């Protein structure tokens, strides 16, 4: 189920809230689990079986790890087995086809016989709930968390629908106490409503229209240079408002249920360097990669060279986490190399000497270049797009006509508002975080109505991060 749909807003959410607040606290986690399974199974009912399998398996591994009398060696075996099993499942569903097709290309290149590739459907959000579940096991092993008191608590954590399919990636230890006991207050609920509405508006009123422009330009056969820049700018705004909007909605829904989720974005396009960017963009993924991968690889404790290597590896794997495509690998490598260079320069960017607006502009420019890899269908399309941006390609005969579809007053308004919002100091999330006043109520309610009207009208409503 998608948050910005009729079925979620007018059927699932009211019914869920009605039952949730009608139940005593001890039943609420069970209700969250059941409702979340409906939410998840709405895409494809059999996906639920896979998530249930992961949940049962990891809960059992957790029991093994925390079994009284378990030796450190036994715990290590258990955590290794659990991580391998989870990653094997993730790898099979997400990377099998990519690996098999790559192998086929290699076989074809050396003249060997290729093999038929079994088609595997990617269960939506598998990367997110696998990471959720893994943080539980690893935190138990590291002694950073205590085991869930019951299966219903753990299953509620894994399945929790607000953050289930597109994050933020929330560690077990962050929610452990809240799963057992949380406060439901008017203030928290109202603040949740405010953040939810802001996220909803970001998605419907900004991300979707920006996506139309981005799709039109990226779909064009060799666009003109200016159009190509407008296209990638639109994509930068789309992916930000899409993902950040989703995260805001997740945080808002969490608060309506009494949870406090960490924020996932902190004005990323105002970053002054790539290092700064990764403190602000998809914060939950960056911190999970740092704490569970970078540190596990040795972090910066094994010398300078190894630090740079670790940074690059973590970012490449982070790229691959987004999807089984060489584009994502290169996108990760691009960021990994830039991070390594900045680390080598003492966490200073190559353009550190410039004034702040220029540093922000330069970082944004680098982001735009990297978004081409992220958005293009394949490497060849990405290369063509870079050529178009740099004016090195022959513009297609029909390409100038795309101007009629993208340069409308509506799109100009959306792009202008979107650009202004991402660069201004007070981010919408911060604005919504503040106490609810009459002024805010007077703005938020019409904003929600307007967003719903937009939702009713739009045929185009993808959530980009679901595919990851």
Partner 1 sequence: MNRLRDPRWVLILSFLAILFGVPAVQTIREAVEEEGVLAVEAFPRSLSAAGLRTYEHTLESASWAAKASRPWFQLAQFAGLKDGGSKAIVARDGWYFYKPGLLDLVARSAPTVSPAGDTNDPVVAILHFRDQLAARGIRLVIMPVPNKESIYPDRLTARAAHLKGIIAPRTAEFQRRLNDAGVEWIDLFAAFRDARLESGAEVQPPLYLRQDTHWSPRGVALAAQTAARRLRELGWVQPGRVRYGERPAPVQRLGDILQMLQVPDLEQRVPPEAVDCIQIVQRDSGEPFRETSDAEVLLLGDSFLRVFQQDAPGSAGFAAHLARELEQPVQFLVNDGGGSTLVRQELSARPAYLTGKKVVLWEFVERDLGLGREGWKQVPLP
In sequence order, the 6+-apart residues with CB closer than 8 A to the CB of 245 are 198, 199, 200, 201, 202, 203, 206, 207
194 vs 239, beta carbon nearer partner 1? 194
70 vs 190, beta carbon nearer partner 1? 190
The answer to whether 335 is a known catalytic residue is no
Element (H, E) at 290: none
Q: Smallest distance from the beta carbon of 330 to partner 1, in angstroms?
A: 20
193 vs 324, beta carbon nearer partner 1? 193
Catalytic member of 282, 322, 411, 429: 322
The answer to whether 48 and 41 are in contact (CB under 8 A) is yes
The answer to whether 81 and 61 are in contact (CB under 8 A) is yes
Residue 337, phi then psi, degrees to nearest 5: -65, -45
Q: Count CB neighbours of 86 within 10 A.
A: 21
Q: Smallest distance from the beta carbon of 10 to partner 1, in angstroms?
A: 5
Residue 385 CA to residue 390 CA, distance in Å, equals: 9
Q: Smallest distance from the beta carbon of 438 to partner 1, in angstroms?
A: 5
Question: In degrees, to the nearest 5, what angle opens at C-alpha 198 toward C-alphas 465 and 11?
Answer: 75
DSSP string, 124-190: TTHHHHHHHHHHHHHHHHHTSSPPPSSHHHHHHHHH-GGGTTT-----HHHHHHHHH-----HHHHH
Q: Smallest distance from the beta carbon of 402 to partner 1, in angstroms?
A: 5
Q: Smallest distance from the beta carbon of 224 to partner 1, in angstroms?
A: 8
Q: Smallest distance from the beta carbon of 452 to partner 1, in angstroms?
A: 7
Residue 339 CA to residue 315 CA, distance in Å, equals: 9
Q: Which residues bind partner 1 (CB under 8 A)?
A: 5-7, 9-11, 13-14, 17-18, 41-45, 186-187, 189-190, 193-194, 197, 212, 216, 219-221, 381, 384, 396-405, 407-411, 413, 436-438, 440-441, 444-445, 448-449, 452-454, 456-460
177 vs 430, beta carbon nearer partner 1? 430
Q: Which of 465, 467, 462, 468 is nearest to 209 (CA)?
A: 462
252 vs 318, beta carbon nearer partner 1? 252
9 vs 337, beta carbon nearer partner 1? 9
Residue 125 CA to residue 90 CA, distance in Å, equals: 10
Q: Smallest distance from the beta carbon of 426 to partner 1, in angstroms?
A: 20
The burial class, CB within 10 Å (0-12 / 13-18 / 19+), for 314 is: buried
7 vs 25, beta carbon nearer partner 1? 7
74 vs 441, beta carbon nearer partner 1? 441
Cis peptide before 168 (omega within 30 of 0): yes
Q: Smallest distance from the beta carbon of 30 to partner 1, in angstroms?
A: 21
The distance in angstroms from the start CA to the end CA of the chain is: 16
Q: Which of 208, 214, 212 is nearest to 230 (CA)?
A: 214
Residue 240 CA to residue 247 CA, distance in Å, equals: 10
The answer to whether 279 and 195 are in contact (CB under 8 A) is no
Residue 251 CA to residue 196 CA, distance in Å, equals: 7
Residue 283 CA to residue 297 CA, distance in Å, equals: 20
Ranges of H-type helices in 262-355:
274-280, 283-289, 304-322, 326-344
Which amino acids are annotated catalytic? 322
């Amino acid at each position: 189920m998608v948050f910005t749909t009729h079925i979620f807003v007018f059927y699932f959410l009211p019914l869920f809230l009605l039952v949730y607040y009608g139940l005593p606290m001890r039943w609420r986690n069970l209700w969250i689990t059941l409702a979340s399974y409906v939410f998840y199974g709405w895409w494809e009912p059999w996906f639920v079986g896979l998530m249930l399998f992961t949940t049962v398996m990891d809960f059992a591994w957790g029991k093994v790890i925390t079994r009284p009398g378990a030796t450190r060696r036994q715990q290590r075996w258990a955590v290794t087995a659990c991580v391998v099993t989870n990653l094997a499942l993730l790898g099979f569903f997400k990377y099998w086809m990519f690996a098999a097709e790559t192998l086929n290309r290699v076989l074809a290149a050396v003249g060997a016989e290729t093999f038929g590739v079994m088609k595997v459907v990617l269960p939506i959000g598998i990367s997110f709930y696998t990471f959720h579940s893994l943080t539980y096991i690893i935190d138990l092993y590291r002694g950073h968390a205590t085991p869930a008191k019951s299966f219903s608590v753990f299953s509620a954590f894994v399945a929790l629908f607000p953050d289930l399919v597109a994050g933020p990636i929330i560690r077990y230890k962050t929610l452990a106490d809240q799963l057992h006991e949380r406060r439901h207050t008017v203030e928290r609920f109202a603040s949740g409503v405010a953040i939810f509405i802001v996220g909803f508006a970001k998605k419907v009123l900004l991300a979707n229209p920006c996506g139309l422009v981005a799709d039109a330009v990226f779909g064009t056969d060799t666009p003109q240079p200016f159009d190509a820049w407008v296209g990638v700018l639109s994509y930068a705004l789309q992916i930000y408002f899409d993902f950040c909007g989703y995260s805001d909605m997740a945080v808002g829904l969490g608060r309506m249920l009494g949870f406090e989720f960490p924020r996932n974005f902190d004005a990323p396009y105002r970053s002054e360097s790539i290092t700064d960017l990764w403190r602000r963009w998809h914060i939950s993924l960056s911190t999970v990669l740092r704490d569970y991968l970078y540190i596990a690889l040795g972090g910066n404790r094994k010398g300078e060279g190894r630090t740079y290597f670790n940074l690059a590896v973590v970012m490449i794997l982070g790229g691959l986490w987004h999807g089984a495509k060489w584009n994502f690998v290169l996108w990760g490598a691009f960021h990994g190399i830039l991070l390594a260079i900045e680390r080598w320069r003492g966490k200073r960017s190559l353009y550190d000497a410039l004034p702040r607006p220029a540093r922000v502009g330069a970082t944004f420019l680098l982001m735009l270049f990297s978004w081409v890899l992220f958005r293009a269908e394949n490497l060849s399309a990405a290369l063509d797009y870079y050529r178009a941006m740099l004016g090195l390609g022959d513009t297609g005969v029909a390409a100038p006509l795309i101007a009629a579809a993208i340069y409308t007053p509506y799109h100009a308004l959306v792009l202008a508002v979107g650009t202004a919002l991402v660069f201004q100091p007070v981010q919408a999330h911060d604005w919504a975080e503040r106490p609810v006043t009459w002024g805010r109520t007077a703005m938020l309610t019409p904003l929600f109505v307007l967003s719903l009207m937009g939702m009713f009208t739009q045929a185009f409503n993808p959530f980009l991060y679901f595919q990851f």
